[in-house]
Amino acid sequence: MAWRQVATATGREERDARRDYQIWADDRYDLHRNYPGTTSGMTGEEHAQATARAAMP
């Protein structure tokens, strides 16, 4: 995945696509932390991976 491709496909700026992805990942992580034991959300490890993807070129 290249952020430029995501931006082009969604008709948005690359920085906006990255930001929205990071916000989505943060929200999923918060969901997991606030409701432990559920299958929703994102673990700390998954969140770290998503954050790394948001920073990729």
In this prediction the pTM is: 0.86
Query: What's the pLDDT score for residue 42?
Result: 95
One-letter amino acid of 42: M
On whether the CB atoms of residues 3 and 52 are closer than 8 A, the answer is no
Confidence band, pLDDT 50/70/90 cuts, at residue 35: very high
Helix extents (H) in 1-57: 3-10, 14-34, 44-55
User: Tens of pLDDT along 4-19?
Assistant: 999 999 999 999 999 9
